[in-house]
Chain A
Amino acid sequence: MSCDKGCVCYRHCYNEWGVLEMLRSVLAASLFSVGLGAALPASAATFRWANDGDANSMDPYTRNETFLLSFAQNIYDPLVRRNRELKVEPALAMSWEQPDPLTWRFHLRPDVKFHGGEAFTADDVVFSYQRATGPGSQINSNFSTVKEVKRVDDLTVDFITKAPNPILLQELTQWGIMSKAWCEAHNATQPADLTKVKEENFATRNANGTGPFILGTREPDRRTTLRNNPAWWDKPEHNLTEVTFNVISSANTRVAALLSGDVDMIYTVPPQDMDRIGHTQGLKLAVGPELRTIFFGFDQSRPELLKSDVKGKNPFQDIRVRQAFNMAVDAKAIQSRVMRNQSHPTGLMYGPGVNGYTEASDVRHKYDPDAAKKLLAEAGYPNGFGVTLDCPNDRYINDEAICQAVTNMLARIGMKITLNAQTRLQYFAQISNPGYNTSFYMLGWTPTTYDALNSFFNLAGTRNGVRGVFNDGGWSNKEFDDTLDQMAVETDAARRQQQIERASKIIHDEAAFIPLHQQTVVWAYRSNVELQQMADNWFPLRYVTVK
């Protein structure tokens, strides 16, 4: 169904409004340009978009969630941020250097003001560090290598690390800087304390950053509005004056809202509606690979599998069984039949866009069910064996369907797989630490530092309470762990790249996991909107323009 009369009328009204807005912004720009030197682009507009869930808090330290962090960065600038290509660029820090391997010195941008008018100084950075690593914060893993943050002068801070950390900058890009004075004035020097039942933390529904947008109204689960920050330190690439973010949890309603013109963009597009939106005049789809890698893992730590008919031994400790599984899974078939081509098959535990990825190293085990069957027989399972595959059904795109396909593919080499698909709430409680109650599982991972080490360290490093927390199968390899230790402190980029590739080769040779694919990010929006789709699924409003 293409656009009909109503749609035309809507556009018409919209244009009239746009003219008014333009007049207003031209006026505003001419007023401000005298003082600021940076004028708004000529036209300006309102932008309305929707997602299936809310950014659950306006406090950027309360949750380590992509959507929350991404939304918060429209309001809170970090020291360093990512540009359209996900490369690190200066934000509140203008430049940095390393006086010694353990010290990173940041030179802060002068004359930056918070939305509330407070001047931005080194004290705010030190305070934000303390708040982000203090009680109630869920983002402290970004600072695991930082020993302390010291103020040198008003516009200089030193980050002292426990050991040389080559990827410190990568780890700081999601960390928005908060105002010390504002937090202190509103009794919000800590993120929300969930044991306090009566009072609400001020920063939960209010915000005060230095970013491109100022928080207007905040109605959780319903609507949040932002308005342009005319005093932003950077030259805006966007032309938005007002932004309205709506939560529309029902997929059908979200698509209907886009089709009817109630919103300009939807962030999560249901796969079944892609064709329809793509064929609707006046709407566009943005499709790109996502950083998250979907893979399967095996329990290799227990002497006997929890959910298998093989007793007295653990078949997954035999490399031939793991190789056979790797060879039996046809990622290309999953790409074309289950994912409707919306995936990028991979042989690595991290995808394009992650530091360390090279196309040359991205090699899968060759799909060869006959050889796989032979390997299984050699390992002593000529008729296969029975094992349960644990799988979420509401976490990743088509997760249950993928598991179903893998179950069928493994049946071809004689395996008797019992599929156990559950909601993510039950699923992660079951397969994650401390129980790790799984024998064969599916997991997806986005390295929050955009660096391969993060994936290696969390998913495949030998468990020790800090490392390998998400190594749900308990794979352990000494050489691999040693490589990670070197990688963590290696400051030479070329040598570090070699270490990353060596670690990946160990995983490949050991058939420690079955890497499957990176799924695709799909956004839909009206054709009068221009935006930047990011592989990390962040949605920076500073790149949005509405014509």
Chain B
Amino acid sequence: MKSAVIVFPGSNCDRDAHDAIERVTGHAPAMVWHQESELPDGTEFVMVPGGFSYGDYLRCGAMASRSAIIPALRAHAERGAPILGVCNGFQVLTETGLLPGALMRNAGLTFICEKAPLTIENGNTQFTSAYGGQREVVFPIAHHDGNYFADAATLDRLEGEGQVVFRYANNPNGSARDIAGITNARGTIMGMMPHPERAVDADHGGTDGLGVFESLLGSA
């Protein structure tokens, strides 16, 4: 699978994303600088990594969503090719409008870093199919603005269409309906606050995150 990771100034999980993708797919992803206007030819999967793009100034993900690379990301999305946004990447995807809703400041107002137990609400997406019957996973979270918000109608639609993919077992940040990760209506784009790429190694954070990348590889 040919992958790419977009790098903004202030991205800091780009290396983690790179290594996780390489570990699972056997191929190192292209690291695409935000000022590029094209993804490398033949890119099948794009990951928008975590971090603090543009220092989280103005609003998390807001400035990154206006970067030069974003039109190429939109084109990739329109083709129905998979995109995964994690943490700040999720914030960037909501700011671009590729995913519905917004991420607000955590309900407790402090940054939270912990291992978050999650339930897989939809195991039939191209991001979760490899989990088989497994319903429970633990991914690390590390964010200040992970409190997912959308209006009631949007939330109902997300639930009704199976777009809620991950839910927190113990809601850490006040997210509406315990939502930790969602897809777009076509199921081709997933955004999530927890970090699957930090859970691909028994020596660091466990291996529960492997399934996300294995699912993508399986459906590619």
A and B: real partners?
no
B residues near A, CB below 8 A? none
Interface residues of A (CB under 8 A from B): none
